[in-house]
Amino acid sequence: MTTHLKEEIPEILQNHGNSIAGKHMRKPDLMVGKDMMNNSNNIKSKDVGVRKGLWSPEEDEKLLRYMISKGQGCWSDIARNAGLQRCGKSCRLRWINYLRPDLKRGAFSPQEQHLIIHLHSILGNRWSQIAARLPGRTDNEIKNFWNSTVKKRLKTNSDSCESRDQVLGCENGIMPINELMTMCMDSSSTTSSSMHDMVLTHDQQFDPFPMLTNSYDMVDGVDGDYGILESNKMGLERDFSLPSLESRSIENENNSAPIDVKSHNNHFNNICINNTEQIQNSHVEDLFGFGNHGHGENLRMGEWDLEGLMQDISYFPSPNFQF
C-alpha cells in the first residue's frame, strides 16, 4: 500500500469526529473473560478474551493500519493478526460501517433520500441491496435512517394521505429517473465504486482503497446501458454508473454464460407493463415475493434485472406503506 495512505490514517481517524470516542456508544470495555464463563451459557471457549462494546481510537487505528497494509482477508485472522481482542465479525462491522475510507459522512441528501424511498419500495428491507445502490453509504446507516426518519415521516403524513414521495417533496410521487441517475453518478464520482460490487476470486487480494488506487474509465451510462465493465484484468466487475446488484450473480448457475441482460430487461418490462393495474393495487414487495423476509426468499436478487426495474421505476406507484 502506498505511503500516502499510511500518512492519511490519523486524518481518516480524525475525520470520524467525536463519535469515535463514545458518542452514541455502548458501554466500553466489556470483556468476555474467564470470570464470566460461569455466568453465561452462551459464551464459547473461543470467545474468552474478546472485547465488546466501544471501539477505542487505538483499536480503530490498529484495524485501519492492518487493513491498509494487508488488505481484506479472513476476518478472524485480521482480528488476531492486528492485535485486536475482537471477534472477526466485530472487526468486519467496524470496517464496513465506520473505518472504510470511501464512506460518505453527514446527512443524506434529498436525492439520496428519494433513492432510498424508491429502492425500499422495490427491495423492501434489503438494506444491503439498497446500500449497494448508494455508494459510500452503509446498510446500517440506511436502516437507521429508515427506521427513524422515514418511518416517522411517513407515519406522520399518512393521515394527510401524502405518499412517501410527497413526504420527501417529490411531485407526482415519481422522481425522474434521470435525476436518480444523476444522483448516482454524483455519488460515484466521489466514491468511485461501492465495495459491495466487487467480485473477487479466492486468491485475489482485496484492495481496501479502490478509489485511491484505480483510475476508472467512466462509462456513458445515462442512455440506458448502465454497463458492468469487465475491463479489470483482476476479474473485478465494476459498475461505474449505478452500482449493480447483478454484478455478483449475473452469471448463470454454471458461471459460464452470462445471462442476456436485455432479455431480462424485456421480461421485467413486460411484468411491469402487464401488471400495472395489479401493482397499483398491491404492495410492490408482495408482487415480487420479497418482503421483509431476508432469508429464504424465492427469488434471488441477482436473478432479475434491477437496471430494467430502475428504468421502469415510474411504473410503480407510491404505495401506501403499512408498518
The site for DNA (CB under 7 A) is made up of 19, 22-27, 30, 42, 46, 51-55, 73-77, 88-90, 92-94, 97-98, 125-129, 139-141, 143-145, 147-149, 152, 196, 202, 292, 294-296
| DSSP single-letter state for residue 222 | T
| 140 versus 166: smaller Cβ distance to DNA | 140
Alpha carbon separation from 127 to 55, 187, 300 (Å, rounded)? 24, 18, 15
Least Å distance, CB 222 to DNA, is 27
| 176 versus 302: smaller Cβ distance to DNA | 302
Least Å distance, CB 308 to DNA, is 20
Least Å distance, CB 68 to DNA, is 18
Least Å distance, CB 239 to DNA, is 15
Residue 12's contacts (CB-CB under 8 Å, 6 or more residues apart) are: 64, 99, 101
Please give the Cα distance from 117 to 319 (Å, whole number).
11
| Strand boundaries in 211-311, DSSP class E | 228-229, 238-239
Least Å distance, CB 218 to DNA, is 25
| 124 versus 315: smaller Cβ distance to DNA | 124
Q: Residue 221 has which C-alpha cell?
A: 451510462
Largest Cα span, the chain:
64
Using CA atoms of 320, 139, 203, 59 in order, give the dihedral in degrees to the nearest 10: -170
| 4 versus 23: smaller Cβ distance to DNA | 23
Least Å distance, CB 151 to DNA, is 9
At residue 54, what is the residue type? L
Neighbours of 156 (CB within 10 A): 11
| 3 versus 18: smaller Cβ distance to DNA | 18
- Secondary element (H or E) of residue 157: helix 151-158
| 97 versus 280: smaller Cβ distance to DNA | 97
| 66 versus 315: smaller Cβ distance to DNA | 66
Measured over the CA atoms of residue 25, residue 29, residue 33 and residue 37, the dihedral's sign is negative
Least Å distance, CB 172 to DNA, is 26
Q: Residue 248 has which C-alpha cell?
A: 455478483
Closest Cα to residue 25, out of 81, 96, 98?
A: 98
User: How big is the chain, counted in residues?
Assistant: 323
